[in-house]
């Protein structure tokens, strides 16, 4: 960049004066980067995305809405065969969701209830350590992201994930039964996957970049406001931290040390 | 030379067979297809980069884009004219170049390249 000493000092002085040193100062030196402007939007500046699920508000209808919204947005087909099921967000019973925390006398309202499960976007994700090609990795904002271009389909990550949050494409998703997926692909703005790659929830990273909530959060809260609270767990003033500060919550298999970031408020 | 007649006949047949494809296809070279622009692409006048750049470097640009978007979450591209574009094959590129069969496939077929983009990315619906 062509800039003489005098000009540099002027900008540096001004930056210090305005108290916007560090990264903001650097951006002043390299103006025109739209990323800087977009990153200021509240939803694109997180450090540790997480979610709190209000179990008391959660019912079958809401869960179905969330699952449908997610699968519609992300072009996740219903392959018909439960052994080859593609799961980004799904329903599961208490003893399957929280194994080790069940007991004989558990209140019926939990025993018979389904829970909404998705990728926990762990703080210490075992899937990322298992991946030999770095096709899955932990982003700086906490999302455990998946690069379908790089996935070789070895399925080590599926073996590593203790939550069953990863699914393998045993066949071409576009060849999924038409009668189960009449309008597939449902979202023309989002790609499908191809045969032989692993896929999972991405917290709708492309929606977050636009300042929108993940599809499940949007649909869930439309049906029942407050059922899914999404936000930055690193920010003590965020909505998700405020609700977690008030309610008792549990996580799935925290004893494994993966640091799951989906909280279930009982 | 022993068996000269047989050898020469064999040579003539052999060379003839070798040269057959050259002779058969002489003067029939397939013309390089010209990519067809849609009305929308024509109206825009300028792609994200100059036409010459796009002709030779679009594959590298797309590869860079996918790295930057998927791995670094950098989703906007600033073209030399200063205009900002959302980086996306399926959204940005195909929004103007919605005639995939004429704009992409003809040339790719001519060059004998088979990019696997469309195994996942959804091609625009064409009317033809």
Q: In Å, how far are A42, A48, A116, A124 from A264, measured between CA atoms?
A: 24, 17, 9, 19
Domains and CATH numbers, chain A: 5-42 (no CATH), 48-265 (3.30.70.20)
CB contact under 8 A, B120 and A192: yes
pLDDT at site A2: 60
Nearest-CA distance B22 → chain A (Å)? 40
Summarize pLDDT for A16-39 with one digit per residue, the tens.
666 654 444 444 444 445 555 555
CB contact under 8 A, A191 and B78: no
**More confident position, A21 or B113:** B113
Q: What is the ipTM of this complex?
A: 0.78
Whether pLDDT at B10 is above 90: yes
pLDDT at site A104: 87
Residue B73 belongs to what H/E stretch?
none
CB atoms within 10 A of CB A78: 15
Among the ranges given (A62-66, A216-220, B6-10, B98-102), the one the predictor scored with the smallest mean pLDDT: B98-102
- Whole-number Å distance between alpha carbons of A153 and A166: 11
Q: Look at residues A23, A155, A207, A146 and name the one whose alpha carbon lies nearest to residue B71.
A: A146
Asked whether A216 and A89 are in contact (CB, 8 A), the reply is yes
Predicted TM-score (pTM) of this structure: 0.80
Q: Look at residues A143, A195, A188 and name the one whose alpha carbon lies nearest to residue A169.
A: A195
Q: Is B114 on the interface with A (CB under 8 A)?
A: no
Nearest-CA distance A86 → chain B (Å)? 16
Q: Which residues of chain A are under the pLDDT cut of 50?
A: 21-32, 40
pLDDT at site B127: 66
Q: What is the mean pLDDT of chain B?
A: 90
Q: Which residue of A has its CA nearest to B77?
A: A34
Q: Is A160 on the interface with B (CB under 8 A)?
A: no
pLDDT at site A252: 96
Summarize pLDDT for B13-52 with one digit per residue, the tens.
999 999 999 999 888 877 888 888 999 988 988 899 999 9
User: Helices A22-29 and A5-18, interaxial angle, to 10°?
Assistant: 140
Any idea where the domains of chain B sit in the sequence? 39-119
pLDDT at site A17: 63
Chain A residues with CB-CB distance to B66 below 8 A: 149
Q: Which residue of B has its CA nearest to A193?
A: B120
pLDDT at site A108: 83
Phi and psi angles of residue B103, each rounded to the nearest 5 degrees, phi first: -85, -40
Token output for B16: 């003839």
Q: Is A194 on the interface with B (CB under 8 A)?
A: yes
- By Cβ distance, the residue of A35, A149, A191 closest to B122 is A191
Q: Is B78 on the interface with A (CB under 8 A)?
A: yes
- Whole-number Å distance between alpha carbons of A177 and A184: 10
């Amino acid at each position: 960049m062509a800039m003489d000493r005098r000009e540099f000092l002027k900008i540096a002085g001004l930056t210090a004066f305005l108290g916007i040193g560090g990264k903001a100062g650097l951006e002043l030196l390299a103006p025109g980067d739209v990323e800087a402007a977009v990153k200021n939007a509240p939803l694109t500046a997180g450090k540790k995305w997480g979610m709190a699920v209000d179990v008391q508000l959660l019912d079958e209808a809401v869960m179905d809405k969330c699952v449908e919204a997610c699968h519609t947005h992300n072009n996740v087909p219903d392959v018909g065969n439960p052994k080859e099921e593609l799961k980004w967000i799904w329903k599961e019973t208490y003893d399957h969701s929280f194994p080790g925390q069940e007991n004989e006398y558990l209140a019926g309202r939990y025993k018979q209830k389904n829970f909404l499960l998705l990728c926990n976007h762990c703080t210490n994700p075992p899937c990322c350590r298992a991946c030999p090609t770095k096709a899955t990795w932990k982003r700086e904002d906490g999302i455990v992201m998946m690069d379908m271009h790089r996935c070789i389909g070895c399925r080590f990550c599926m073996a590593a994930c203790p939550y069953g949050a990863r699914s393998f494409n045993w066949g071409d998703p576009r060849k999924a039964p038409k009668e189960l997926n009449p309008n597939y692909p449902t979202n023309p703005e989002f790609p499908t996957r191809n045969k032989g790659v692993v896929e999972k929830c991405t917290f709708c990273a492309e929606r977050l970049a636009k300042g929108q909530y993940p599809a499940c959060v949007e649909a869930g809260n439309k049906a029942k406001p407050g059922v899914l609270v999404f936000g930055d767990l690193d920010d003590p003033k965020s909505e998700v931290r405020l609700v977690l500060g008030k309610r008792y919550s549990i996580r799935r298999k925290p004893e494994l040390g993966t640091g799951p970031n989906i909280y279930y408020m009982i | 030379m022993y068996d000269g007649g047989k050898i020469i006949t064999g040579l003539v047949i052999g060379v003839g067979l070798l040269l057959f494809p050259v002779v058969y296809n002489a003067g029939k070279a397939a013309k390089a297809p010209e990519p067809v622009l849609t009305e929308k692409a024509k109206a825009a006048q300028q792609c994200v980069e100059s036409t010459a750049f796009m002709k030779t470097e679009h594959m590298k640009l797309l590869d860079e884009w996918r790295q930057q978007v998927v791995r670094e979450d950098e989703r906007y591209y600033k073209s030399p004219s200063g205009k900002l574009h959302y980086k996306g094959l399926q959204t940005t590129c195909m929004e103007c170049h919605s005639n995939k069969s004429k704009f992409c496939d003809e040339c790719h077929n001519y060059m004998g390249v088979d990019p696997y983009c469309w195994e996942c990315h959804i091609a625009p619906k064409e009317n033809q």
